[in-house]
């Protein structure tokens, strides 16, 4: 796969994921997830404590300051996808740099 094809693949995939995050995520089930359901069934859900980021701008699958719940939910997912993609790109860039340095060092030896 050449560089242009890879770029098109990444951009296309990112557009699909961002579209799903924005348009589909607001329709996700509001039922408790597995861990929350077990804590309710076993009777220890009321012992949960807030974490350090509980008052953050993306708490509760929403965006502070956005009044429309569906829009806030979609935006929070888009922001999460963008952050995850950015972190992944940085990590893969570092990996590629390290690999290139190792290959240069091996070819010089």
Give the tens place of pLDDT for each residue, 16-48: 999 999 999 888 877 778 888 898 999 998 888
CB 80 within 8 A of CB 21: yes
HSE toward the beta carbon, residue 16, CA cutoff 13 A: 6
CB 53 within 8 A of CB 59: yes
Q: How far is CA 67 from the centre of its chain?
A: 22
Local confidence band at 60 (pLDDT 50, 70, 90 cut-offs):
confident
* pLDDT score for 58: 81
pLDDT for 65-107, tens place per residue?
889 988 988 999 999 999 999 999 999 999 999 999 998 888 7
Three-class DSSP category at 105: helix
Single out the residue of 63, 61, 65 nearest to residue 26, CA to CA. Answer: 61
Averaged pLDDT of the chain: 88
| pTM (predicted TM-score) | 0.73
Domain count, the chain: 1
* pLDDT score for 14: 93
Give the range of the structural domain holding residue 84, as residue numbers without chain letter.
3-108
């Amino acid at each position: 796969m050449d560089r242009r094809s890879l770029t098109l693949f990444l951009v296309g995939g990112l557009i699909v994921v961002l579209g799903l995050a924005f348009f589909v995520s607001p329709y996700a089930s509001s039922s408790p997830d597995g861990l929350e359901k077990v804590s309710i069934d076993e009777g220890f859900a009321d012992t949960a404590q807030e974490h350090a980021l509980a008052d953050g701008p993306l708490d509760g699958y929403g965006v502070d300051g956005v009044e429309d719940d569906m829009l806030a939910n979609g935006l929070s997912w888009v922001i999460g996808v963008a952050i995850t993609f950015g972190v992944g790109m940085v990590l893969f860039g570092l990996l590629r740099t390290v690999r290139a340095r190792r290959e240069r060092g091996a070819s010089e030896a």
